[in-house]
Amino acid sequence: MYQVLIILLFILGLFFIIKGSDFLIDSCLMLSKLTSISQVIIGATLVSVATSLPEISVSLIAVAHDLHDLAVGNAIGSMICNVALVIGAAIVIAPQKVSLKSFKSKALLLIFLNFVLFIFCINLKIGLIESIILVSICAMFFYINILEAKKSLKEHKKTKSNIGIKKDWAILFFKFIIGTLAIFIGANMLVHNGERLAYMLNIGSEVIGLTIIAFSTSLPELITTMSAVKKKSMELALGTIIGTNIINITLLFGFGGLLAGRVGLNISKSTLSVSIPLLIFMTLMLILPILKTSKTHRIQGILLIATYLLYTLIILSTLITSTQA
């Protein structure tokens, strides 16, 4: 009975995260309509924050409970899932052209941050200085996007339809607040019951973070990306995923290191030697072909998904071997 309750609470936490993310994304899209700010900019900032909130909430709550392996495993696992499975599936379904004007700078920043993360983790710890640097980069990222948003506002002609009415803004704020609360509650339920589930199954918390929780917290990105692809907006999908991973690296590891205090955020050897290099490889596999050809390719998506599935199978086989031992 206890085991069933843990599983049900884990599923309920997942439900809260998905519905909360839906509310947050709706509020962000409403903001785009009310202000005429480009959806690409909103996708790389507000939608990315909205879809990143599950990962950030889960990982920071885990750090607060000294569950560093779970926090880091969820962070890296979610980013790998975003780049390989989420956007990979979108590319397979509908490969499209991509405007490098809005894509290039953010894509290059993500590649840079991947290598920065690897360098910062070499000593198996994210300390105070590294945390401050990461948070500062995140602040600059948002500042640059705010400047782009202001420029976009100036280029648009002011019309009555863009002003909106008080009722629209009330709905926007309501969805934002309810969505945030739902995600926070769901994240708490995922962390607590995920750790209990790992204990029940005799599985390491890092493995739980890399697989079950990482996939669960990446579902908002999956839902948003598929919706964007259906509307033939690959740029919005790419902007959301790239923005999400930028925020995960800077905010999640930055705040995680700050929250860990003097001890610092602990990084396992397997994360440094396997997970982060794989994240770098998959990120390059996604971005470099687009920079060269200005479009996504179906074979590219197939390779990303195949690599992700192989990676997951290796983790599961390692798990089975260690359990039998």
Cα end-to-end span (Å), the chain: 28
pLDDT at 263 over 80: yes
Task: For 122, list phi and psi in degrees, rounded to 5.
Answer: -55, -35
Helix/strand/coil for 66: coil
pLDDT at site 120: 96
User: Between the ranges 21-25, 43-47, 297-301, 315-319, where is the mean pLDDT highest?
Assistant: 297-301
pLDDT at site 204: 63
Give, for 279, the enclosing helix (H) or strand (E).
helix 276-293
Tokens at residue 116, please?
């920065």
Please state, in angstroms and rounded to a whole number, the distance separating the CA atoms of residues 45 and 146. Answer: 9
User: Between the ranges 92-101, 187-196, 211-220, where is the mean pLDDT highest?
Assistant: 92-101
| Mean pLDDT for the stretch of residues 71-98 | 88
What string of DSSP letters covers 75-113? HHHHHHIIIIIIHHHHHHH---B--HHHHHHHHHHHHHH
Domain around 184: 2-155+164-324
| Mean pLDDT for the stretch of residues 235-252 | 88
Please state, in angstroms and rounded to a whole number, the distance separating the CA atoms of residues 310 and 127. Answer: 32
| Mean pLDDT for the stretch of residues 95-115 | 89
pTM to 2 decimal places: 0.79
| Total residues belonging to the chain | 325
| Mean pLDDT for the stretch of residues 184-212 | 69
**Closest to 214 (Cα-Cα) out of 94, 92, 103, 52:** 52
pLDDT at site 97: 86
Number of domains in the chain: 1
* Cβ proximity of 256 and 59 under 8 Å: yes
Q: To which residue do tokens 């790998």 refer? A: 80
- The pLDDT > 90 percentage for the chain reads 28
| Mean pLDDT for the stretch of residues 151-163 | 57
pLDDT at site 152: 66
* pLDDT confidence tier of residue 153, bands split at 50, 70 and 90: low
Which CATH number is 302's domain given? 1.20.1420.30
List C-alpha distances in Å: 43 to 29, 78, 91, 102, 175.
Answer: 9, 18, 17, 11, 17
Tokens at residue 165, please?
């009415």
Mean pLDDT, the chain, rounded, equals 81
Least confident of 116-120, 161-165, 247-251: 161-165
The full 3-state SS of 111-176, as one line of letters, equals HHHHHHHHHHCCCCEECHHHHHHHHHHHHHHHHHHHHHHHHHHHHCCCCHHHHCCHHHHHHHHHHH
Please state, in angstroms and rounded to a whole number, the distance separating the CA atoms of residues 157 and 171. Answer: 25
**Closest to 152 (Cα-Cα) out of 160, 166, 137, 162:** 162
pLDDT at site 278: 93
According to DSSP, residue 251 is labeled I
Least confident of 27-36, 62-71, 205-214: 205-214
| Mean pLDDT for the stretch of residues 30-40 | 70
pLDDT at site 160: 46
